[in-house]
Amino acid sequence: METECKRILLLKGLQPLNDDQFSMVKSLLDSDLGLTPKMKEDYTKVKIADMMHKKFRGILCVNKLLTLLKDIEGLEDTVKTIKNEKRKVMKKYKTQGLAPVKKRKQEVSSTDESTSTANKASRPVDDTLVSKKRKTKTTSKNKSNKTQPTSEWGQLGQPSVTGALSPASFSQPPQMPPPTPGSSFSTKKPRLKSVPTKASREEGLQTCTKEVMVLKATEPFAYDITDEERKMFHATVVTESQFFRVKVFHVGLKDKFIPKRVITLADYIGRNGFLEVYNVSSVSDVSADRKMEVSSRLIQNANATPKIKELRSEEPGTFVSGVYQVHKKMVLDQCITLYEIQDDTGTMDVLVYGRLAKVNCEKGDKLTLICFELSGDLRQLRSVTHSFIKVIKPRKNKKQQLNPDLYMKTPA
């Protein structure tokens, strides 16, 4: 898909543009691609296509170009062509691989049945084994007045001795046979399935639907105000066995991300440990009475804050979310603030840039950090374009809020 999307981007999108139209595109992309005036003057269509493909992976680069070209006069046919090419790619990857899988399953099933039939037909009859079975059956009949284990033993993991039950066996309650040396009956409960402690990851375009329950969502916030204000919000969702971090880039979907509501996701992008949702059509409601059985342990893990000691062993580039207490604060610049956070396992620096550097946070407050990147060199957390911060102020002592005059002693 990557190659096909780049082909659409370059050959169907940028190649037909004249010089003026291409200059407009470069001007609109300067903040996204970090283009300097010299770059905008020198870079060719091939170079811009390479940069866009690297910045906006997969189908996102095509969507980005469509957003730019639809407002440029005279490019209606080009936009229509790009949409048609995009539709072909989406349809191809939505249906690709389903029929072969079904066919392979049928072939395997057919092969297994043939092999089983052949084995039965070719299996030699062991006269000794038949003789032993007959002898066992005779011995079992002679002992029918004694206590017999029922067929329930086969269900409990012990071998069934008699095959069929005689009518007399129903008149007696089943009794446990005496344990033989070296054997015992286990009373342990079956081991529960392990519950993931980290958010699950998916990579690339995901066209299949995923039914999830919403755990929580942030309020929409502006993450880019260089040209036009762009907003998004973060959410955490769960299935019955996994949890996921979600970036939603259409704030009109906020009313669907209500805690405990079950929804379906489709046509989203998996990237850097997040599911990225861009279109209203990617989220659908499920019937109001639909409930999802999610273990409390899974919900607890999805809401948990990773320990600082654990973060030090994570790979650089990992994205972190959690709630931490501020131990120190240092304003390095008008747009750069350094915090030192701590928990019971250690401390770590958090470097905050741009719009987030001006939040009202002081020592003793708690910071809710979402989508902060773990750097490799200094082992610190750093804010990125899609980072989100919420400040939690400590509760004031109720005694301090009362009128101090009420505690003054009256004269004797």
Q: What pLDDT does 276 receive?
A: 96
Q: What pLDDT does 379 receive?
A: 82
- Closest Cα partner for 335 from 361, 317, 359? 359
Q: What pLDDT does 103 receive?
A: 39
Q: What pLDDT does 287 receive?
A: 83
- Give the pair of three-digit tokens for residue 288: 């109001």
Q: What pLDDT does 333 receive?
A: 85
Alpha helix (H) ranges present in 127-202? 127-142, 152-155
Q: Looking only at Cα atoms, what is the longest distance across the chain? A: 114
- Closest Cα partner for 45 from 29, 66, 58, 57? 29
- Closest Cα partner for 233 from 361, 89, 346, 390? 390
Q: What pLDDT does 188 receive?
A: 52
Say whether 285 sits in a helix, a strand or coil: strand
Say whether 120 sits in a helix, a strand or coil: helix
Measure the CA–CA gap between 211 and 261, rounded to whole angstroms.
11
Residues paired with 350 in a beta bridge = 339, 381
Q: What pLDDT does 279 receive?
A: 92
Per DSSP, 291 falls in state: -
Measure the CA–CA gap between 321 and 231, rounded to whole angstroms.
19
Q: What pLDDT does 93 receive?
A: 66
Number of H helices, E strands in the chain: 12, 14
Long-range pairs of 299-307 with CB within 8 A, sequence gap ≥ 24: 299/215, 299/238, 301/195, 301/196, 301/197, 301/243, 302/199, 302/215, 302/236, 302/238, 302/243, 303/215, 303/216, 303/236, 304/197, 305/343, 307/343, 307/344, 307/345
Is the whole model's pTM more than 0.85, yes or no?
A: no
Measure the CA–CA gap between 372 and 352, rounded to whole angstroms.
9
Q: What pLDDT does 378 receive?
A: 73
Q: Which domains does the chain have, with CATH numbers?
A: 2-93 (1.10.533.10), 204-301 (2.40.50.140), 310-392 (2.40.50.140)
- Give the pair of three-digit tokens for residue 284: 């659908």
Measure the CA–CA gap between 262 and 215, rounded to whole angstroms.
10
Q: What pLDDT does 247 receive?
A: 97
Q: What pLDDT does 174 receive?
A: 44
Helix (H) or strand (E) holding 190: none
Parts of the chain with a pLDDT under 70: 93-193, 227, 377, 396-412
Q: What pLDDT does 24 receive?
A: 86
Measure the CA–CA gap between 394 and 400, rounded to whole angstroms.
14
Measure the CA–CA gap between 22 and 45, rounded to whole angstroms.
8
Q: What pLDDT does 213 receive?
A: 96
Residue with token string 């009420």: 406
CB 60, CB 205: distance < 8 Å: no
